[in-house]
Copies of this chain bind each other. A is one copy, B any other.
Amino acid sequence: MIAERTHERLTPELLYLLLGDPADFEAAIAGARAADLAEALVQLAPEAGGKVIAALPFDMAVQVLDEPELAHRRVDFIEHVPKAALGALVDAMSSDQQADLFRELPEKERAHLLALVDAPTREALTLLLRYPPKTAGGIMTTEYVSVPSTFTVEQALAYVSEVGRSKETIYTIYVLDPETHTLLHVVSLRDLMLADRTLPVLQCGNRRKPLEVPPTMGREDVARMISKYNLLAVPVVDDDGHVLGIVTVDDVIDAIVREQTEDVQKFGGMEALDEPYTQISFGAMIKKRAGWLCALFVSEMLTATAMQHFEGEISKAVVLAMFIPLVMSSGGNSGSQATSLIIRSLALREITVRDWWRVALRELPTGLTLGAILGVIGFVRIELWQRLHLFDYGHYHMLVAMTVGAALVGIVAFGSLAGSMLPFLLKRVGFDPASASAPFVATLVDVTGLIIYFTVAFIFLRGTLL
């Protein structure tokens, strides 16, 4: 609702048109929020976007550049921002977004931009760019509030009021040893506000050892920690106990949403796009999709090999071939259900790799029950069609129906079991369990499903049809 309302007010076209008239432009963006401006900006061409950014009041331009939504377009836009203004704009950005910008820049242009920014920015960038973008070090910001442990609550509050403007958050204050600068205590602004002003900060708030993360921790784990303990920020601390930076809750929400996008895409049976669907190039998209599609296709060729083995059976009993897609797909479907359940449970840490047998003991009866349900439906369907003379499955229709029914029990049970075990197996051998996609499981189950089906057929139909 809100998005739509602001969308009406601030379309990309309008934004660009207004550039011609400074007074109108100023009026249009006066009530705007940075996130809405960024949303409109990403739809503009590089040059137009650069012009809009250059025309914005300084503080607003910085806020817009800080929006993660803009991430994939920043490089396009800043090329068209006058060099004279660019350095100061980048200096004023928050350090995690500066690092993102530099990561997107081509090697050559990095040096150019690095020459435009000031020394503190360069220093922060050198630190942040050392860490991979999906780690705590890669998403942290260096703008946090720290006070020496010798401060009182009163002094700390005064200091926060003084330096707060330039910090990412002032709601968590890091108390450092005045000598070694190691992290001793974390206190919230809330604790400070509610405390006796003369108290030393070290005695304010909860005295537990502060929660902290190493710079190498994956962003998913950082997100889980912030969410579990309801934190607004978590300090990133090196081996010596020095605070390198902080990861804030809003960075973590972005990280959660991105991880989720990757997981959904992987579960759909492809590589994660890393870019919005609307912005990725045709070639990049083919590359991300063709790899898995070919791998699955080649694996699925085993079904052709299996079918070659059963060529004799098929030519003797063509009626069997008719139910192959039906029976096989049920295994894939039940497998897909089990996989999605287990991937998610693993991601939420409800279960760990060691719980695999507990899950197996659960999925086997589940799969047998579901298979029995489908088996009954399948049996009834064939017999019904036969009795209603909708189709003639031949003299041994009852045996064919029993074959389909019994095979379904086996295949659905196998599908549930295989689908639930695949994520464990992938995790065990060091892969991302989220790579256990629905198509992957279906492919896995298809080959086995064929073998189960023809084995059951052989048992039921030996001496009659086969």
Residues of A within 8 A of B (CB): 1-3, 31, 33, 35, 69, 157, 160-161, 164-165, 170-171, 189-190, 193-194, 208-209, 211, 213-214, 217, 221, 224-230, 232, 249-250, 252-254, 256-257, 260-261, 263-265, 267-270, 273, 276-278, 282, 285-286, 289-290, 292-294, 296-298, 300-301, 303-304, 307-308, 311, 314-315, 318, 321-326, 328-330, 332-334, 336-345, 348-351, 362, 365-366, 369-370, 373-374, 377-378, 381, 391, 412, 437-439, 442-443, 446, 450
Query: Assuming A165-B194, A232-B232, A268-B438, what are 10 further A-B pairs, CB within 8 angstroms?
Result: A2-B211, A2-B225, A164-B190, A170-B193, A227-B253, A267-B267, A286-B366, A293-B334, A325-B450, A438-B438
With beta carbons under 8 angstroms apart, the residue of B160, B190, B321, B337 that contacts A270 is B337
Q: How many copies does the complex hold?
A: 2
Per CB-CB distance, the 4 closest pairs between chain A and chain B, nearest first, are A268-B340, A438-B438, A307-B322, A303-B325
A285: chain B residues within 8 A (beta carbon): 366
In the assembled complex, the Cα of A323 lies from the Cα of B308 at a distance in Å of 10
A165: chain B residues within 8 A (beta carbon): 194
Main secondary structure of the interface of A (DSSP, over half): helix
Q: How far is the CB of A437 from chain B (nearest CB, A)?
A: 7
Q: Are B298 and A221 in contact (CB under 8 A)?
A: no
In the assembled complex, the Cα of A253 lies from the Cα of B227 at a distance in Å of 7
Most chain B CB within 10 A, of A165, A332, A344, A349, is at A344
Q: How far is the CB of A96 from chain B (nearest CB, A)?
A: 12
